Amino acid sequence: MKVDFSAVVIGVSAGGFQALHTLLPLFPKAFPSPVIVVQHRMAGEDDFFIDSLNNKSRLTVKEAEEKEEIRPGTAYIAPGGYHLLVEKDHTFSLSVDEPVCYARPSIDVLFETAARVYGSHLVGIILTGANSDGSNGIKTIKQGSGLTIAQDPETAEVNLMPLSAIATHCIDFILPLEEIPSFLTNLVEDTHDNS
Amino acid sequence: MNNEEIEINILLNAIQLKYGYDFTQYADASLTRRIHKSLADSGYNRISEMITPLIHDKEFFNVFLNNLTVNVTEMFRDPPFFHNLREKVIPYLKTFPFIKVWSVGVATGEEVYSLAILLKEEGLYDKALIYATDFNDTVLEAAQKGIYPAQSIKTSTRNYQKSGGKHSFATYYHADYDSVIFDRALKKNIVFANHNLATDGVFGEMNLILCRNVLIYFNRELQDRVLKLFHDSLRTNGFLCLGTRETIDFSTVVDAFVPIKKRLRIFQKKRDQTQEISDEG
Ligand SMILES: C[S@@+](CC[C@H](N)C(=O)[O-])C[C@H]1O[C@@H](n2cnc3c(N)ncnc32)[C@H](O)[C@@H]1O
């Protein structure tokens, strides 16, 4: 199989602190695409959370900033209290629109705007959570021929969010958390071998 | 350009020609999302189908406009910001016999009432003139009324306390069954007015400008226009306050400002850039 992707978007909610601390450090430094994360949490918890992830990861982990250019080798975390959107010119924008599924940032908002920009070159991943946010986003990514992954609900701290994503019938792969980064890296390498 | 982009382009042009509202320099992703929301509500299948009712039916346009712009707000939003406004900016403003304040993009008014309460507690209200502007008449009307749903008062009170409020918050409003009405006296020195940042001009000689969570909806060019407008509207040493995730870093007037509290986006205008340029020339 070969997939050429330009961005990875990840949605995670309850249990996310632990899940991201497991997942992000497993990405290689030279991972060739940006990783963009919406984690549901309270505004104001941002600094500690992001510093801690950055210290443990080979990717640069930082908060996504308004109008910032989206670059590979970096994991961007949506700021608390704002929706994170992807613009056509590959920059971020923020909004304070009403919460979606009680959440701001919302996974659906990130996924839907990213799908519009990256189309089939997008990978969308749903991890642990007690919410159905992200399921609509997964549908949109699939409609745009992107690739979709759900964390194996068995391995999720809270299985509701991956189960809800899987119930859309738009999930391509169900994987344990630890296997996701190597799975993605292999996809990229396959692509490069074939081209 | 794909079909959807073409449709949005024509739709925005139609709105501009008919009503004068210019959305062409808004950040794309949010605007597109909002247009799709209107489309879903309208029952039409394509964005271009909304152009006819938009032009011919004022009521359809009003609903569309309210849908397009984001009016979500709350009292004392970001309490640490209001706390720092009180501690860092107010003492300086107290040295003036009279101050002018501009609260831009006030939406339904929560922000300007927060400001009014703060000025009152600091003994500045009676020597202040506050302009509260937005480009949406529907929200401005609501702002002028100062009546909010009762369930919002819990957040408001909590924010007020966290922001360093000095009294019991309940002294500022009157609670009805399902709404709270803010004290009329808070409105005495507030002038509500329609002002469009994309097309209208300077408000002169301000000591303080608050424009929070409005610039995030604009593209860089429009952000730059607006920041220049604020620069020109401020007195030297006047203060500019933006939303906590907004930036002046990309703007051509960035050098004219010094951060007073960078994290909370409180800036002070240090010098007049136009003057500076003509000095050099
Ligand atoms: C999210 S609200 C911000 C409310 C408040 N300042 C806050 O931070 O809570 C954004 C407001 O900006 C207004 N707005 C959007 N575009 C504008 C423009 N071109 N000129 C003036 N106001 C505008 C909208 O009508 C809306 O009321």
The average pLDDT across A163-168 equals: 98
E strand or H helix that includes residue A134? none
pLDDT of B273 reads 57
Which of B8, B28, B108, B249 should we substitute to test contact with A (largest number of A Cβ atoms within 10 Å)?
A: B28
Ligand 1 centroid – CA A120 distance (Å)? 34
Q: In this complex, is the C-beta atom of A85 within 8 Å of any C-beta atom belonging to chain B?
A: yes
pLDDT of A194 reads 47
What 8-state DSSP symbol labels residue A74? E
Cβ pair A88:B28 closer than 8 A: yes
pLDDT of A46 reads 66
Minimal Cβ distance to A113: which of B33, B217, B245: B33
Q: Could you list the beta-strand ranges (E) of B97-217.
A: 99-104, 128-134, 147-149, 173-175, 179-182, 190-194, 206-211
pLDDT of A2 reads 57
User: The dihedral of CA B10, B15, B17, B18: what is its sign?
Assistant: positive
Predicted confidence (pLDDT) at residue A3 exceeds the cutoff of 60: yes
CA distance A176 to A179: 6
Q: Token pair for residue B53?
A: 């009712």
CA distance B159 to A183: 45
Return the residue of B nearest to A115 by Cα: B29
Q: In this complex, is the C-beta atom of A88 within 8 Å of any C-beta atom belonging to chain B?
A: yes
List residues of B whose CB lies inside 8 A of any A CB. Answer: 27-30, 32-34, 70, 72, 213, 216-217, 220, 223, 243, 245-247, 250
Percentage of chain A with pLDDT > 90?
A: 86
pLDDT of B178 reads 93
pLDDT of A102 reads 87
pLDDT of A190 reads 64
- Helix, strand, or coil here: A167? coil
Mean pLDDT score across all residues of chain A: 93
Minimal Cβ distance to A93: which of B27, B213, B250: B27
pLDDT of A1 reads 54
pLDDT of A195 reads 42
pLDDT of B281 reads 31
pLDDT, tens only, A127-163: 999 999 999 999 999 999 999 999 999 999 999 999 9
Angle between helices B58-68 and B3-19 (to 10 degrees): 120
Question: Which domains can be identified in chain B, with CATH numbers?
Answer: 3-68 (no CATH), 79-269 (3.40.50.150)
E strand or H helix that includes residue B35? helix B28-42
pLDDT, tens only, B19-76: 999 999 999 999 999 999 999 999 999 999 999 999 999 999 999 999 998 899 999 9
Ligand 1 centroid – CA B20 distance (Å)? 17
Pocket of ligand 1 (CB under 6 A): A 96; B 69-73, 77, 105-107, 111, 134-136, 139, 196-198, 212-214, 217, 243
The correct answer on CATH 3.40.630.30 for the domain covering A7-193 is: no
More confident position, B267 or A1 = B267
Predicted confidence (pLDDT) at residue A41 exceeds the cutoff of 90: no
ipTM of the complex: 0.91
pLDDT of A4 reads 75
pLDDT, tens only, A73-128: 999 999 999 999 999 999 999 999 999 888 999 999 999 999 999 999 999 999 99
What positions of A carry a catalytic annotation? 13, 40, 133
The average pLDDT across A1-18 equals: 88
pLDDT of A124 reads 98
Return the residue of A nearest to B2 by Cα: A116
Return the residue of A nearest to B77 by Cα: A81
Contact present, B18 and B54 (Cβ < 8 Å): yes
Mean pLDDT (10-residue bins), chain B, 281 residues = 94 97 96 96 96 97 92 95 97 97 97 98 97 96 97 96 95 94 97 96 95 97 97 97 94 95 95 48 31
pLDDT of B135 reads 95
**Relative to the CA of B243, which ligand 1 atom is closest?**
8
Structural domain spans, chain A: 7-193
Beta strands across the sheet bearing A74-77: A60-63, A74-77, A35-39, A7-12, A122-126, A147-151, A173-175
Beta strands across the sheet bearing B128-134: B190-194, B128-134, B99-104, B206-211, B234-242, B266-269, B257-261
Length of chain B: 281
CA distance B210 to B196: 15
pLDDT of A189 reads 72
